[in-house]
A and B are shown apart, each in its own frame.
Chain A
Amino acid sequence: MKSDTLYTFYGRAAYRVAGDGAIRLEGACPICFVLNSELLKRSNKIHPFDTGAYHRRLYKHVFADEIGMSDFEISDDWGLINTLVSTFYGETENYFFGNTSSIPSASELCTPDEMHVRAYHELITSSGRNEPDDRVMSIEVTFSDPILLAESLRAIIVPHTIWNGSHKTSWLQEIEDDTTEIVPYEFHPGRAPDYYMAHIETQLRDLYAKWGLM
Chain B
Amino acid sequence: MSSAEKTYRIIGGWTADESSQGFLVPIFKRNGSDGFFLQICKDSLIVEFRRLEVDSDLKIFPVTSTYFVTEGDSQMFCYHLGKMLFLSGSREQMLDFVDGQTDHLADRNPALAVQIENLRTEDSNVTKLRKRILEQYSSMSMDASYAYKNSVAREVGWEKIEKRLASDEELLTKFREHRSDYDFHFGERGELKIRIHSERNTIPTEVLESALIDASISLDSTFDELIDVAGEEIQHGEYVDDFLIHHVFDKAPRQETRLALVLKMAIERPKHAGIILSQYEDDAMYANQMARTLGNFIIRRGLSSQKQVLRAVEDHLPLFFNKSFYKSRGVLLVELAKHLGNFEEVYEFLKWKVGESESKMLIPFFDEIEYHLRTWSERRPN
Q: Which residues of A contact B (CB under 8 A)?
A: 18-22, 24-29, 97, 99, 101-102, 160-167, 169-172, 181-190, 194-195, 197-199, 201-203, 205-206, 210
Contacts and interface: CB of A to CB of B under 8 A. Distances in A.
Given A22-B42, A101-B253, A184-B148, 7 more contacts: A18-B50, A102-B253, A164-B148, A169-B18, A183-B143, A185-B151, A202-B154
B331 to A, nearest CB: 13
B40 interface: yes
B151 A189 contact: no
Nearest to A184: B148
A20 B158 CA distance: 19
A21 B40 contact: yes
A184 B144 contact: yes
Contact of B137 (A184, A197, A210): A184
Given A22-B42, A165-B136, A167-B17, A189 B180 contact: no
Q: Which of A21, A162, A203 has the most CB of B within 10 A?
A: A21
A18 to B, nearest CB: 8
Contacts, number: 141
A20 B40 CA distance: 8
Contacts of B75: 24
A212 to B, nearest CB: 15
Interface of B: 14-19, 22-25, 38, 40-42, 47-48, 50, 75, 77, 107-112, 114-115, 118-119, 130, 133, 135-137, 139-140, 143-144, 146-148, 150-152, 154-155, 158, 176-177, 179-181, 183, 185, 197, 199-200, 253
Contacts of A181: 143
- Which 4 A-B pairs rank lowest in CB-CB distance, beginning with the nearest? A165-B136, A169-B17, A198-B180, A201-B180
A171 B134 CA distance: 22
Contact of B150 (A24, A187, A206): A206
B349 to A, nearest CB: 26
Given A161-B112, A189-B119, A25 B25 contact: yes
A65 B284 CA distance: 47
B65 to A, nearest CB: 20
29 contacts: A18-B50, A19-B40, A19-B50, A20-B42, A24-B119, A25-B15, A26-B15, A27-B16, A27-B25, A99-B200, A101-B199, A101-B253, A160-B148, A160-B151, A162-B16, A162-B17, A165-B137, A166-B109, A167-B112, A184-B147, A184-B148, A185-B151, A186-B152, A188-B118, A189-B118, A190-B118, A198-B154, A199-B155, A199-B180
